[in-house]
Amino acid sequence: MSDHPSTYQPGTAIERWLDPRLPIIRFGADLMSFPTPRNLNYWYTFGGILAFCLGVQIVTGIVLAMHYDPSGTGAFLSVQRGIMRDINYGWLIRSLHANGASMFFVAVYLHILRGLYYGSYKAPREVLWLLGCVIYLLMMATAFMGYVLPWGQMSFWGAKVITSLFGAFPLIGKPLTALLWGGYSVDDPTLNRFFSLHYLLPFVIAAVVGLHIWALHVPGNANPTGVEVKSKADTLPFHPYYTVKDLFAVSVFMILFAVFVFYMPEALGKVDNQVMADPLKTPAHIVPEWYLLPFYAILRAIPDKLTGVLALAGAIGMLFILPWLDTSKVRSMRYRPTYRLFFVIWIVACAALGWCGSQEPDGQIINGLAGPVLIDYDINSVTWLSRIAAMYYFAYFLVITPILGLTETPLPVPDSLYTPVLSHPAGVPAGAAAAPETKG
Amino acid sequence: MLRKLFAAASIAGVVAMAVPALAASTQAPLKDDVHWSFESPLGMYDQVQLQRGFKVYKEVCAACHSLNLVAFRNLGDPGGPFWNAKYPNPNENPVIKAIAKDYQVADVDTDSGDAIKRPATSADYFTPPFANIYAARAANGGAAPPDMSLLAAAREGGARYIYSLVTGDGTEAPAGLTIPAGKYYDPWLSGDVSSYYKGDPHKTPVGSFIAMPPPLVDDRVSFDDGTKATVKQEAADVSAFLQWASDPKMEERKQMGVSVMIFLVLFSGILYASYRQIWRNVGH
């Protein structure tokens, strides 16, 4: 909170006593009065929404753990008989937790897209961005292990498929999978360690969220124009302006959440998971939860297992190195129409990968049309669509982003993030008269 | 314009991923000739139908299928087949007590330590028809009948699937498909029957093989409320009962959902008004 002088005045006697000893009230007060750009739109409310999601997951998760039995014979019963039928409001707590995971990912994906669009990852916010990437990685690990706990068919076989991926690494592969499994296959020890880690990781996430918010308060918020705060006139105190806006957004988000919890609690799940895990019976079609589908598609697109695993890791790795791939001096895509177009295509590619991940690899895109077979698969197949989309996914980061930053001509960037007179007529970029940037 | 495009594309992208894509069609379209009282967002179970369905379960399905997650008392829970407001504690419901009494459960005699059988009480769970999975397999040609507690939840289509299957018609083998001995054709269960099919490869039938013969005939049970027990009636009623067994808290869930929705919409309205009030003189 570099250039944000504290405005807190200890009022009561107890505050005056506490402040020199532990300035915790000052800390909270400074957080609330933190100067925040006045032009943040609704895309910036997902941070608050995500904090809400994490809170819901931790509270409901703690209650579920009170009633859960992490054993191969007891897990399914404790969930389906105990929690879902016998425990008061167990169905509600579990529905909040299971659908809450999906809501968490909906919010995190929109939060990431917002960061990508407005260039929030650029200097001086690289550490803020990296911490966000770490949170996302931890979320995926936590969600994956949580999905194993009900010990249904998809829990078991999903765990088997994903943990087996680690076996692709030379030399360390075998000992690594044995360590993950606690044995030579997915069994009770696997379930026990997944339960333990599933309880631990959310608190690690909470700690990294603390760092993420700290890293946010050093340079302060970015904003839709990408222009840094220049004077006090550009900002508003976080409270009450953004507390009320975030609360409104959380409330609207809760409506969507409640539609799933109360009216379609199983819509995002798989019917196979309502059958107890059976190590001798492989389900016809093993698919991960929706939020992991794009990565699953990338994994399957590559014939060699190890290369596939590396591509999967690389797809997430792209986000980590993005701040150093983007060469443009202009932060926000509002002023980068060409890059924006490539970005929209990138979102379409991600959605296509997600769809491919849910389909059989040799499923046809256009029904009844057989094309030539290339690298094990028909050209007209889900696998080839994933290959094309995956190539675009990587090209967007490794080729388009670095080159376009140097070659495109951006639109004129305003002088300041807020120009009182010109701000409201929508569509007219504020301060359009400013000297246009030529290159980069 | 492009900003709106971006917004639309990103929301559509995330939503498209979230909504499970329609799986490549490996199952036949489900029969659609029954109205299900519980399907709409506010739809509830038809209690009389659940009672008829329970009778079909008890007299037909229970010969082979267990119902391990359901206790007798659950039949008298709110939303259940024998819920009666006079008995908020379903263990005291005389109908439930009478149903339980007919089942024998394994127990231990505390005086002698001998394994005994005693009549079930409302608090006991339904007793399975077979002692263990091996006995279940041995008695059913190697395929153990699945537990029915979550059957409707464990099949695409839920009650519609069960109804489509147990009404029987439509399970005749299509030309070119050889049905293995002791198996029956189930076009509504996702699977792969191509290795048993000889014919036009573009017209490979969808579906799977199961070990259960069509279980219902007209008047297999006699309904206490006088409803004529046609195959369709029995099938619809038992499907509704199994839907209840899979989702016994549905009524409580949907009712609570209404209050939650009303609250959230009002709360959002108040917050929006507060937001407008606080930001009224602030340029942004």
Nearest by CB: A262 against B2, B260, B278: B260
Residue pLDDT, tens place only, A252-292: 999 999 999 999 999 999 999 999 999 999 988 899 999 99
| CB pair distance less than 8 Å for A92 and B202 | no
Residue pLDDT, tens place only, B219-243: 999 999 999 999 999 999 999 999 9
Rg of chain B on CA atoms, in Å: 25
Q: Which domains does chain A have, with CATH numbers?
A: 27-267 (1.20.810.10), 287-415 (1.10.287.980)
| CB pair distance less than 8 Å for B14 and A80 | no
| CB pair distance less than 8 Å for B18 and A106 | yes
Residue pLDDT, tens place only, A163-200: 999 999 999 999 999 999 999 999 999 999 999 999 99
Residue A84: what residue type?
M
Residues of chain A positioned with their CB less than 8 A from the CB of B190: 284-285
Residues 84-143 of B with CB under 8 A from A: none
Residue A440 confidence (pLDDT) above 50: no
Chain A contact for B272 (CB, 8 A cutoff): yes
The number of angstroms, rounded, from the C-alpha of B76 to the middle of its chain's C-alpha atoms is 18
Chain A contact for B264 (CB, 8 A cutoff): yes
Range in A90-104, A360-374, B102-116 the model is least confident about:
A360-374
User: If you count residue pairs, one on A and one on B, with CB atoms under 8 Å apart, how many are there?
Assistant: 154
Residues of chain A positioned with their CB less than 8 A from the CB of B11: 110
Per-residue pLDDT band at A434 (split at 50, 70, 90): very low
Helices (H), B92-183: 94-101, 133-139, 159-166
Residue A431 confidence (pLDDT) above 90: no
Q: How far is CA A359 from CA A310, A347, B10, B27, in A?
A: 22, 19, 21, 15
Whole-prediction pTM: 0.92
Residues of chain B positioned with their CB less than 8 A from the CB of A291: 17-18
| CB pair distance less than 8 Å for B274 and A248 | yes
pLDDT for position B21: 44
Q: For residue B40, give the chain A residue with the closest CA.
A: A263
Nearest by CB: B253 against A102, A106, A262: A262
Nearest by CB: A359 against B5, B14, B21: B21
Q: Who's near A155: CB < 8 A, 6+ residues apart?
A: A147, A148, A149, A273, A277
Contact A45, A244 (CB under 8 A): no
Sign of CA dihedral A45, A48, A51, A55: negative
| CB pair distance less than 8 Å for A84 and B190 | no
Look up the ipTM and state it: 0.90
The Cα–Cα gap between A406 and A439 comes to: 7
pLDDT for position A207: 98
Chain A contact for B81 (CB, 8 A cutoff): no
Residue pLDDT, tens place only, B143-196: 999 999 999 999 999 999 999 999 988 888 888 899 998 899 999 998 888 889
Residue A350 confidence (pLDDT) above 60: yes
| CB pair distance less than 8 Å for A284 and B192 | yes
| CB pair distance less than 8 Å for A271 and B275 | no
Best residue in A89, A104, A154, A248 to probe B by mutation, most B CBs within 10 Å? A248
Q: For residue B157, give the chain A residue with the closest CA.
A: A271
Structure token pair of residue A88: 């008061």
The Cα–Cα gap between A100 and A252 comes to: 15
| CB pair distance less than 8 Å for A265 and B253 | yes
pLDDT for position A430: 44
| CB pair distance less than 8 Å for B271 and A244 | yes
The Cα–Cα gap between B32 and B216 comes to: 19
Higher pLDDT, residue B6 or A55: A55
Contact B254, B42 (CB under 8 A): yes
Per-residue pLDDT band at B4 (split at 50, 70, 90): low
Q: Who's near B241: CB < 8 A, 6+ residues apart?
A: B49, B50, B52, B53, B54, B56, B57, B81
Residue A243 confidence (pLDDT) above 80: yes
| CB pair distance less than 8 Å for A251 and B271 | yes
Nearest by CB: B278 against A240, A265, A290: A240
Contact A408, A330 (CB under 8 A): no
